[in-house]
């Protein structure tokens, strides 16, 4: 996948500009959607439209259209409103020019279209201020089949003096409807992605992060915006947006006095003033947009396809079943604990063993608790005298792959690293550095720190040729930001430069280690965004492994991010985070809807549980291609208050599907669950087999054949209705 990115850059450079006619509308089109911009009589770049694709020739290039009044009173929203002139909404651009002026007027100069790869077009529109020599390029990349348009902006200062960038957004989108409903996600550690849908009112609603590093722990930069009513699953106009940035962000939804919704999204301008010297440029992260007039179900499918085709690493590779050592061993292990776990993992059908935290640091800095060791990435010779290579080889001998945990951006005060390089640690001048989880953050704005992290990754990979997976963690956010590396008058560059430093490290690592699988983890899902995802193979969805909570967390997460990347592990009962007890079947049925793994000590399973787990893993391997590469259809929304959740994956060729249903509460003796299936062919016959059966099947038709139109119209009913009842069905065309 990463290779694809490099390739597309090369092709892009070789492509020719194919269009630069300022009299015709600028159309950024995908198979089913389009965005239209025009140049108004006074030279403004006007945003006309983003929605369903037009069938006909547009009226935009008539003289009358082009000369309609544009006084900023609501007729013609600019494509990228800069503060100045009539722009009174939250602007997408706010500059202070070299002479102290706070206003900017952007006028269209030219545009060009290139085709970086088959099915993808890139439209660049150049704008300039007639008075000040700055250039703003708006970059729209349209992905035909996936119906995704990404937007970013590049600002160049040619004024001859220093330019102050107070705000430079990635995107601005004006919309007009009777009402607007925003679905967004809040959370906290082990409770990520809690869905809220609200009707937006006149005024401003903002979703933002000011915490750096763990930018998505309390809110995610992904949202749904539904027009004229709450978002429905299969009908209605819904926009999906997700910012590809792993630092502070801000999404602003401003309903203005004309009833228009103005969406501005990008890097958070909070304490983030950026200075450009003459000749310097600043490029924003991408905002990923999709639109569907068939409800939010299609929004999810568009984004999943886009991520699988254009973002995620190794996205055409089936993900292995993992046993991660954290909840099964924590930091309390020796060599035998680990080799025993590997032996058990092999017997139960696991394909990848991951050694979590606790394997490094020595002497007084041994990582036996979270108080010490971070930064000292040498194997703990007391716990693991024969090193990592011995463990990795042992795994390979048993038929498993081997992975290992690192947290390379962090340092414990109790470590050799903290003693040797105090100047590498994030801090605000002479203020005492605050600790979170007994750790500090390394200053990634500093190229020496970037080199250190790349070297850490290399060194760990160098511990064994049999390491094929890295779990990259980041367990705290930024407090009292500041850098010893950045000059005093550039401290506000910290937020942007940290994330750019991180991406540069990711880039270098991916070039050097293109094959290794990397998990994106930050105390669970505290760094889950489209920007980081493209360097990774998957993410640790949440430290909360409690199945009942995971149903909602995974449902929200999978609105945007696909199941193939959603690491979902069966842990022990009672659950370590919540104390809740749940049957093993329920725990498996929930975890099998994502990238299945285990997060437990296999020795703690009794004989019956062991046999169940072994069979469930075997069943997962059968349905894995449908879950990981198929289309997601949500059937019953866990947020709707009815106490049910259900969804389905359908293979791309439509020949197979897998169905999941969960009871979230006790429904009463006579209640049963009934739902219609989706995505099948009404003219085909399907055999349905129930998986993970406990004592008896919950579906009366287990093993029987049904016509597609029956399944999609009358639907199926299931004998589930108690707390922790669940059903998994494998549906195969015959």
- Residues 46-85: x/- map of binding to ligand GLA (CB under 6 A)? ----------------------------------------
Instruction: Find out whether 453 and 421 touch, Cβ atoms under 8 Å.
Output: no
By CB under 6 A, name the one of 120, 263, 418, 521 that touches ligand GLA: 521
Distance CA 204, CA 97 (A): 27
The answer to whether residue 255 forms part of the interface with ligand GLA (CB under 6 A) is: no
Q: Which is nearer to ligand GLA, 526 or 623 (CB)?
A: 526
The answer to whether residue 408 forms part of the interface with ligand GLA (CB under 6 A) is: no
Q: Give min distance, CB of 536 to ligand GLA, in A.
A: 14
The three-class DSSP label of residue 353 is strand
The answer to whether residue 538 forms part of the interface with ligand GLA (CB under 6 A) is: no
Binding piece for ligand GLA, criterion CB under 6 A, among 26-34, 521-529, 546-554, 667-675: 521-529
By CB under 6 A, name the one of 495, 540, 560, 561 that touches ligand GLA: 540
The answer to whether residue 409 forms part of the interface with ligand GLA (CB under 6 A) is: no
The answer to whether residue 524 forms part of the interface with ligand GLA (CB under 6 A) is: yes
Q: Does the CA dihedral 362-363-367-371 come out positive or negative?
A: negative
Instruction: Find out whether 254 and 261 touch, Cβ atoms under 8 Å.
Output: yes
Q: Which is nearer to ligand GLA, 326 or 498 (CB)?
A: 326
Q: Which is nearer to ligand GLA, 286 or 473 (CB)?
A: 473
The residues, any chain, with a CB within 8 Å of residue 610's CB and separated by 6 or more, are: 348, 602
- The DSSP annotation for 240-304 comes to EEEE--SS-EEEEEEE-TTSEEEEEEEE--TT--EEE-TT-EEEPPPEEEEEESBHHHHHHHHHH
Binding piece for ligand GLA, criterion CB under 6 A, among 200-208, 211-219, 516-524, 587-595: 516-524
Instruction: Scan for tokens 């259209």, then name that residue.
Output: 65
Q: Which is nearer to ligand GLA, 526 or 677 (CB)?
A: 526
The answer to whether residue 356 forms part of the interface with ligand GLA (CB under 6 A) is: yes
Q: Does the CA dihedral 125-126-131-133 come out positive or negative?
A: positive
51 token code pair: 């929605």
The residues, any chain, with a CB within 8 Å of residue 345's CB and separated by 6 or more, are: 323, 353, 398, 400, 598, 602
Q: Give min distance, CB of 312 to ligand GLA, in A.
A: 20
Q: Find the largest Cα–Cα distance for the chain.
A: 81
Distance CA 405, CA 484 (A): 28
Distance CA 173, CA 264 (A): 7
The answer to whether residue 523 forms part of the interface with ligand GLA (CB under 6 A) is: yes
The answer to whether residue 597 forms part of the interface with ligand GLA (CB under 6 A) is: no
Q: Which is nearer to ligand GLA, 474 or 590 (CB)?
A: 474
Q: Which is nearer to ligand GLA, 570 or 658 (CB)?
A: 570
Q: What are the catalytic residues? A: 473, 543
Q: Give min distance, CB of 147 to ligand GLA, in A.
A: 33
Q: Which is nearer to ligand GLA, 290 or 577 (CB)?
A: 577
The answer to whether residue 192 forms part of the interface with ligand GLA (CB under 6 A) is: no
Binding piece for ligand GLA, criterion CB under 6 A, among 302-310, 460-468, 519-527, 561-569: 519-527
Distance CA 130, CA 153 (A): 19
Instruction: Scan for tokens 């980081």, then name that residue.
Output: 532
- Residues 295-334: x/- map of binding to ligand GLA (CB under 6 A)? -------------------------------x--------
Number of residues binding to ligand GLA, judged by CB under 6 A: 11
- The DSSP annotation for 309-351 comes to HHTSTTTTSPPPPEEESHHHHTT---HHHHHHHHHHHHHHT--
The three-class DSSP label of residue 584 is helix
Binding piece for ligand GLA, criterion CB under 6 A, among 57-65, 224-232, 518-526, 607-615: 518-526
* Contacting residues toward ligand GLA, per CB under 6 A: 326, 356-357, 405, 473, 475, 521, 523-524, 540, 543
């Amino acid at each position: 996948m990463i290779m694809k990115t490099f390739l597309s850059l090369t092709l892009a450079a070789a492509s020719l500009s194919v269009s630069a006619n300022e009299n015709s509308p600028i159309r950024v089109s995908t198979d089913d959607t389009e965005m239209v911009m025009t140049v108004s009589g006074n030279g403004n770049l006007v945003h006309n439209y983003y929605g369903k694709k037009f069938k006909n020739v547009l009226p935009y290039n008539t003289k009358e259209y082009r000369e309609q009044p544009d006084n900023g009173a609501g007729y013609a929203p600019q494509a990228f409103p800069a503060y100045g002139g009539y722009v009174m909404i939250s602007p997408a651009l706010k500059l202070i020019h070299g002479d102290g002026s706070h206003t900017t007027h952007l006028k269209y100069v030219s545009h060009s279209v290139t085709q970086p790869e088959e099915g993808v077009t890139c439209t660049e529109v150049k704008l300039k201020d007639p008075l000040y020599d700055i250039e703003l390029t708006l970059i729209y990349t349209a992905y035909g089949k996936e119906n995704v348009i990404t937007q970013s902006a590049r600002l160049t200062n040619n004024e001859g003096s220093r330019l102050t960038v107070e705000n430079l957004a990635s995107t601005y989108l004006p919309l007009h409807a009777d009402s607007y409903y925003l679905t967004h996600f809040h959370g906290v550690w082990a409770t990520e992605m809690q869905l809220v849908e609200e009707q937006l009112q006149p005024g401003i609603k903002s979703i933002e992060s000011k915490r750096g590093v763990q930018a998505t722990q309390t809110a995610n930069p992904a949202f749904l915006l539904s027009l004229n009513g709450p978002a429905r699953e299969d009908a209605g106009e819904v926009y999906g947006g997700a910012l590809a940035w792993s630092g502070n962000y801000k999404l602003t939804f401003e309903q203005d006095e004309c009833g228009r919704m103005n969406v501005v999204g990008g890097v958070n301008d909070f304490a983030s003033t950026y200075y450009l010297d003459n000749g310097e440029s600043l490029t924003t992260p991408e905002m990923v947009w999709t639109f569907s007039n068939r409800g939010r179900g299609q929004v999810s499918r568009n984004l999943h396809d886009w991520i699988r085709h254009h973002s995620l690493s190794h996205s055409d590779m089936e993900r292995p079943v993992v046993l991660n050592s954290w909840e099964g061993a924590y930091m309390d292990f020796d060599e035998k604990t680990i080799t025993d776990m590997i032996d058990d993992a092999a017997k139960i059908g696991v394909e990848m063993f991951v050694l979590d935290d606790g394997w490094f640091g020595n002497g007084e800095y041994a990582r036996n608790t979270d108080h010490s060791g971070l930064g000292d990435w040498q194997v703990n010779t007391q716990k693991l005298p024969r090193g990592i290579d011995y463990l990795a080889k042992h795994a390979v001998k048993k038929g498993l792959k081997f992975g290992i945990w690192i947290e390379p951006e962090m340092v414990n005060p109790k470590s050799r690293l903290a003693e040797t390089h105090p100047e590498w640690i994030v801090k605000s001048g002479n203020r005492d550095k605050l600790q979170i989880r007994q750790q500090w953050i390394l200053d990634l704005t500093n190229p020496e720190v970037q080199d250190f992290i790349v070297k850490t990754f290399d060194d760990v990979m160098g511990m064994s040729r049999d390491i094929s997976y890295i779990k990259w963690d980041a367990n705290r956010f930024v407090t009292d930001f500041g850098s010893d590396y950045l000059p005093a008058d550039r401290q506000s560059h910290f937020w942007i430069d940290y994330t750019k430093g991180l991406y540069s490290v990711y880039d270098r690592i991916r070039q050097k280690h293109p094959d290794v699988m990397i998990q994106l983890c930050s105390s669970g899902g505290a760094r889950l965004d489209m920007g980081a995802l493209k360097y990774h193979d998957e993410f640790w969805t949440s430290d909360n492994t409690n199945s009942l909570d995971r149903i909602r967390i995974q449902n929200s997460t999978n609105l945007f991010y696909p199941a193939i990347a959603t690491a979902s592990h069966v842990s022990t009962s009672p659950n370590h985070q919540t104390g809740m007890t749940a049957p093993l079947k329920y725990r498996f049925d929930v975890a099998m809807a994502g990238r299945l793994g285990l997060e437990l000590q296999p020795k703690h399973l009794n004989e019956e549980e062991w046999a169940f787990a072994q069979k469930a893993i075997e069943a997962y391997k059968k349905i894995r291609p449908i879950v990981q590469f198929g289309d997601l259809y949500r059937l019953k929304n866990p947020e709707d208050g009815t106490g049910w959740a259900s969804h389905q994956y359908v293979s791309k060729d439509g020949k197979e599907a897998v169905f999941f249903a969960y009871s979230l509460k006790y429904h009463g003796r006579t209640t049963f669950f009934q739902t219609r299936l989706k995505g099948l062919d009404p003219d085909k016959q399907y055999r349905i087999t129930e998986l993970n059966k406990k004592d008896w099947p919950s579906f009366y038709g287990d093993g029987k054949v049904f016509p597609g139109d029956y399944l999609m119209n009358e639907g199926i009913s299931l004998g589930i209705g108690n707390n922790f009842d669940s059903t998994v069905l494998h549906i195969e065309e015959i």
